[in-house]
Structure 1
Amino acid sequence: MEKVVVNKIIPFSSVDGPGNRTAVFLQGCNINCRYCHNPETRGMCTNCGECVAKCPTGALSIENKTVKYDSSKCVSCDTCIHVCRHDSSPRTKVMDAYEVYDMIKKQIPFIRGITVSGGECMLHPKFLKELFTLAVEDGLGTLIDSNGTIDFSKEKELLEVSDGVMLDIKAFSSEEHKKITDFGNEIVLKNAQFLSSCGKLYEVRAVIVPTLYDTKESIIQMGKFLKPLYEKNKFRIKIIAYRPMGVREKYSHYPVPDQEYLHELAEILKNYGFEDLIII
């Protein structure tokens, strides 16, 4: 089975899909969102050891030129991820689908399903298929949380064991998407169309970051683009306010949108016929 680097597993989450779910965060991402709220999931540990000296409880050490993590000594102060220059974490763990699912099974009586996120979890479609197959056998729902930059049309076997995809549209304009992430969004929009066509588009999300891009125009164009998809297959749209918590310091200066503005954007989408809207 494929082994992946797991950043963390949250046993109970109410914000990563319908109902109470276990959320699995994989390490590694293929884009560079300026407002990334989990930058410690972006890169892989280089074993440079800088975090070892900074750890206040001695939970980190160097053995055979590799950073070792002792969870029994960790107090979750996050010093290690704050000092890391590689957008990584020394607290990750290499696991296969069976090992991850062994941790998920402990919550089965209390969860409705699982959601796998990142980083970008679609960098590991084989792992997702293996994990979701195990979950489906136990009657759990399965969702993919993705930035949409990996072609879903090439992963039809994975989609067969997936309930759907929570898809980011960072900005509707490809140039603005590139400004936000370093990459255009052509494949993202293609994925939205494909996933809708096969009934696998569960949610579309937009993070509203004033001054970084033209948020209002992006919502207008997104609404026009998504309207015919929504008329065929209903899905949720989530409008998410940028907040500086967890964002890398050099990108933490953007203004936080107020609720009045977020509701204004929601009204634009309602006028296109969207009914299932969430503002957070």
Structure 2
Amino acid sequence: MIPVSAHVPINNIIPFSLVDGPGARCSIFVQGCNLHCAYCHNPETQRLCVACGACVKSCPAGALSLVAGAVEWDPVKCTKCDTCINVCQHRSSPRILHMTAEEAFERVRGYMPFIRGVTCSGGECMLYPEFLTELFERCREVGLGCLIDSNGTIDFSKHEYLLGISDGVMLDLKCWDDKWFRSLTGTDGVMVRQNLAYLSEHDKLVELRVIVTNDRNDPEDAVKGAAGVLGERIGKTRLRLMRFRHFGVRGEMENAPSPDDSRMNAIESLAHQLGYGTVVVS
């Protein structure tokens, strides 16, 4: 029997994406994250709205209102000018839809047969495993693939059934050394490294993602450290090296420079030398 999930805050649903897994996919971004990454490109997805009212007062379209202590969003009036996001001091967004998995699936179903699957991201989608389980069950019934895009801080070994009905996980490896990890995210990377091993051993690591910054993380060590964990499975591992770009970033790294081509090329060469099966630079 398919479980019935509660309403989950959804930040955005992109009908057709070519960058969130193989083929054309529908990408669902949940609201809420358990990390505070300094380089987050979607910082407005980090927190749930606290109804401070700053966005309501600032909305030029009058699309926001305070009702019974909560911010309500009128998508018809909204022009998506992003004023609400820019004035929010809580890394949140009032432009949220609270949806059950069935409601989300009905949106997804409307994009068939033009997509081959669904990717759930965020925020951190693994904060809502019941929602993912029900959504993936329904998607699999109609032949859609299901991917999880995760920061890796939730223990996947406790969600065997969910993994079993998914095609796998695109895992972010933000740093290798815990000092770097705490500096960048506010916590350590112990669980991420455990999940890296677990997902690889169970053939559920679809892609390993490492963002390359200047002096805010240790991508070379991350690539080498992951290689040690993967062992002989490295040859079937897809690695994506992502150049940091400041677009969308707020706070201390909003004006940070991107690494140059020589740095990216050097890490790509290192990855090939270590034996990664596929290396993609983006």
Letter in 1 for 2:148: I
Paired residue for 2:110, among 106, 110, 113? 106
Counterpart in 2 of 1:243?
245
**Is the 1:6–1:94 contact (alpha carbons within 8 Å) kept by the matching residues of 2?**
yes
Q: Deviations over 1:70-116 (max 9, x none)?
A: 11111111110111111111110111100000100011110010000
> Distance between the aligned counterparts of 1:124 and 1:63, measured in 2?
26
**Is the 1:4–1:127 contact (alpha carbons within 8 Å) kept by the matching residues of 2?**
yes
Paired residue for 1:268, among 263, 267, 270? 270
> Distance between the aligned counterparts of 1:244 and 1:69, measured in 2?
28
- Of 210-219 and 145-154, more deviation after overlay is shown by 210-219
User: Is the partner of 2:110 in helix, strand or coil?
Assistant: helix
User: Is the partner of 1:207 in helix, strand or coil?
Assistant: strand
> Distance between the aligned counterparts of 2:122 and 2:59, measured in 1?
24
Confirm whether residue 143 of structure 1 aligns to residue 147 of structure 2.
yes
Letter in 1 for 2:247: M
Counterpart in 1 of 2:281?
279
Q: Deviations over 1:116-140 (max 9, x none)?
A: 0011111111111100000000000
Letter in 1 for 2:172: D
| TM-superposed deviation, 1:225 | 3.3
User: Is the partner of 1:62 in helix, strand or coil?
Assistant: strand
| TM-superposed deviation, 1:229 | 3.1
Which ranges in structure 2 are unaligned for 5 or more consecutive residues? none
Confirm whether residue 204 of structure 1 aligns to residue 208 of structure 2.
yes
**Is the 2:214–2:257 contact (alpha carbons within 8 Å) kept by the matching residues of 1?**
yes
Q: Tell me the TM-score normalized by structure 2.
A: 0.95
- Of 212-221 and 173-182, more deviation after overlay is shown by 212-221
Counterpart in 2 of 1:36?
40
Paired residue for 2:89, among 74, 85, 91? 85
**Is the 2:176–2:218 contact (alpha carbons within 8 Å) kept by the matching residues of 1?**
no
- Of 258-267 and 203-212, more deviation after overlay is shown by 258-267
Counterpart in 2 of 1:171?
175
Letter in 1 for 2:209: R
Q: Deviations over 1:7-52 (max 9, x none)?
A: 1100000000000000000111111111000011000001111001
Counterpart in 2 of 1:70?
74
| TM-superposed deviation, 1:227 | 4.1
Paired residue for 2:49, among 41, 45, 54? 45
- Of 182-191 and 218-227, more deviation after overlay is shown by 218-227
> Distance between the aligned counterparts of 1:261 and 1:225, measured in 2?
24
What fraction of aligned residue pairs are identical, expressed as a percent?
Answer: 44
User: Is the partner of 2:33 in helix, strand or coil?
Assistant: coil
Which ranges in structure 1 are unaligned for 5 or more consecutive residues? none
Task: Say how many residue pairs are matched.
Answer: 278
Q: Tell me the TM-score normalized by structure 1.
A: 0.96
> Distance between the aligned counterparts of 1:151 and 1:221, measured in 2?
19
| TM-superposed deviation, 1:249 | 3.1
> Distance between the aligned counterparts of 2:107 and 2:263, measured in 1?
41
> Distance between the aligned counterparts of 2:191 and 2:83, measured in 1?
36
User: Is the partner of 1:109 in helix, strand or coil?
Assistant: coil
| TM-superposed deviation, 1:235 | 2.5
Counterpart in 2 of 1:223?
227
> Distance between the aligned counterparts of 2:70 and 2:201, measured in 1?
46
**Is the 1:29–1:42 contact (alpha carbons within 8 Å) kept by the matching residues of 2?**
yes
User: Is the partner of 2:259 in helix, strand or coil?
Assistant: coil
Letter in 2 for 1:266: E
- Of 26-35 and 169-178, more deviation after overlay is shown by 169-178
